[in-house]
A and B are shown apart, each in its own frame.
Chain A
Amino acid sequence: DVKVTQSSRYLVKRTGEKVFLECVQDMDHENMFWYRQDPGLGLRLIYFSYDVKMKEKGDIPEGYSVSREKKERFSLILESASTNQTSMYLCASSPGTGETQYFGPGTRLLVL
């Protein structure tokens, strides 16, 4: 079974802090994704990566950056957290472009 793990289930940070969310997958998938999920807005793509050190902006990249130094690990960085970044963050991986995505359990981030 594919396993996607995220470093924290719950996180509380203060406005202006730098926040790192880590995601690791164990199935040698090429593609990895970061989404945020908010009530009524569904899943919105922040960034995705189709190879090590490669990244592409999704629909809402502002205020976020990503890092993929190793194939199995994809990090989401909030350079200076703001209250409107309070959300559920979901990481996913897939073996090829546009294929079935396998999700992690999510990180619920609260920015105070």
Chain B
Amino acid sequence: SQKIEQNSEALNIQEGKTATLTCNYTNYSPAYLQWYRQDPGRGPVFLLLIRENEKEKRKERLKVTFDTTLKQSLFHITASQPADSATYLCALRAFSSASKIIFGSGTRLSIRP
């Protein structure tokens, strides 16, 4: 069956460290993968998109990698700050489904001072 999984439900790290979140998928051929941030009581906000032929994308302190062999995307936040605390969702658009994006259930990231 098709699945998109974010392995950690919650992640707690010390301020200043790099946070690494994982997104794995099975039985999909992804056209691209997106990462969103969601704060409590709010809708998700788009952060980054990486296409299936790209290995890495960066935006300020954020970095996303995409390994289609491992069927995995990693999302990194360097020099993490308490303000980065939120839930992060990965989302995948498959080649077979042009109109739909499938979301993972999210990882709740907490950065302690």
Contacts and interface: CB of A to CB of B under 8 A. Distances in A.
- Chain B: interface size category: 20 to 34
Q: Chain A at the B interface: mostly helix, strand, loop or mixed?
A: strand
A34 interface: no
A43 B103 contact: yes
Interface string A31-44: 10001000011110
A56 interface: yes
Contacts of B9: 40
Interface in B20-62: 31, 34, 41-46, 49
A93 to B, nearest CB: 11
B97 to A, nearest CB: 8
Given A45-B100, A56-B99, A102-B46, 18 more contacts: A35-B103, A40-B105, A42-B104, A43-B44, A43-B89, A43-B103, A90-B44, A98-B93, A98-B97, A98-B99, A98-B100, A100-B49, A101-B46, A101-B91, A103-B44, A104-B43, A105-B41, A108-B41
Interface of B: 9, 31, 34, 41-46, 49, 89, 91, 93, 97-101, 103-106
Interface of A: 4, 31, 35, 40-43, 45, 48, 50, 56, 58, 90, 92, 97-98, 100-106, 108
